[in-house]
Amino acid sequence: MKILVADDSAVLRAAVSKLLEADGYDVVLAEDGVDAITKFYEESPDLVLLDVQMPKLNGYVVCRLLKEDPVAAGVPVLILTVRTSAEDRYWGVKSGANGYLTKDTLGDELLSSVRSALASRALRELSGGAQLVAPARGEADVLTRVCEMLDRKLFEATVVNEITAVAMKPIGVVEAVDQILASLGRLITFDAAAVALVEDQRMETVSKRKLTAEDTARFRDAVADQVGRVSGAAFTSPASAPKVLFDETVPERDLGWATIYSVPLRSKGQLVGVMVFGMHGPAAMTDAMIATTRTVTPAIVSVLESASDFQAKLTSEAMTTFQSLA
């Protein structure tokens, strides 16, 4: 088994290397963040030990880069640092690290953590298959990857902020769903989309062009099928004509649905609803679009809860007013 140790201290690299080699591991050394990334792709280690304070890229950034690469994500990463604050531990977890160790744990505790992480990886690979081998990356490639990651994070934050802003408006569930799907319609290439609310047995649908009655019915059936698969119960919302976004002048076309993609909407472990996208072309949902839907899902759930609370408050106030007048 091979372990990559990344630390800017030659003394720490030597001490950790000696400890691991005595336990039977092969050790690869890196002295800064960029060197760690490059060595990772050159050597394909089974586990990574990362210092936080390193030149060029710190350990948190290195961890994020590895965990956001599908090729590298399955390799355990343990943070090994002198930092002991709760803030640092929190950021280590959020960076995707599989464990957070301080350098006063050198010895049996470190070896125990390494063995545990490697055992967990082995169990995952038994069910998920072997890791892919990635090509080596030089320093320029690493820095390009950092820029791509930062740009992606900025994009995701912008999209989440746009969705979350809907929750600040005094609107009901129907209007909230319309605004959510309209926002996603500028980012995701769908032909029709729906949010099905499980408890209310209600479906709100939008499309990017006017659909035929047959196409609308087939999409409604596809949504009901997806909700049934997720919830395990029948969904009986009546069919209704989708609201048309953007291209109202496009003639009706009965094309059928080659691709259906659904996203469960959960709050506190409970299924609130299911968001469903329909595309006339096969394999139309790209990895980037799937990543976007996953990123905004928690914000969408918050918006739906806020709109539902506002709607319930209006209903309660209306009932109180009615009773006072009766």
| H or E element that contains 101 | strand 99-102
Cα separation, 290 vs 296, in Å, equals: 10
pLDDT at 321: 66
Cα separation, 215 vs 238, in Å, equals: 15
Instruction: Report the SS3 class of residue 205.
Output: strand
Cα atoms found within 13 Å of the Cα of residue 246, Cβ hemisphere only: 16
* pTM of this structure: 0.61
> 65 is written with which tokens?
């880069």
* Each residue's pLDDT expressed in tens, for the chain with a length of 326 residues: 899 999 999 999 999 999 999 999 999 999 999 899 889 988 889 999 999 999 988 999 899 888 888 778 889 999 998 888 888 888 888 888 999 998 877 788 899 999 999 888 887 777 665 455 555 567 777 777 777 777 777 788 888 888 888 888 888 888 888 889 888 888 888 888 999 988 888 888 888 878 888 888 888 899 999 999 998 888 887 656 667 765 545 555 556 788 899 999 998 888 989 999 998 877 677 888 888 888 899 999 999 888 888 877 776 666 566 556 55
pLDDT at 129: 54
Report the candidate in 126, 101, 121 with the shortest Cα–Cα distance to residue 111.
Answer: 101
CB 48 within 8 A of CB 75: yes
Give the domains, in start order, of the chain with CATH numbers: 2-137 (3.40.50.2300), 162-325 (3.30.450.40)
- The backbone torsions φ and ψ at residue 296, rounded to the nearest 5 degrees and listed phi first, read -90, -10
Cα separation, 84 vs 2, in Å, equals: 27
> 71 is written with which tokens?
């090729």
Beta-strand ranges (E) seen in 249-313 are 259-267, 270-279
| H or E element that contains 304 | helix 287-325
- The backbone torsions φ and ψ at residue 103, rounded to the nearest 5 degrees and listed phi first, read -75, -5
Instruction: Please state, as a whole number, how many other Cβ atoms lie within 10 Å of the Cβ of residue 147.
Output: 9
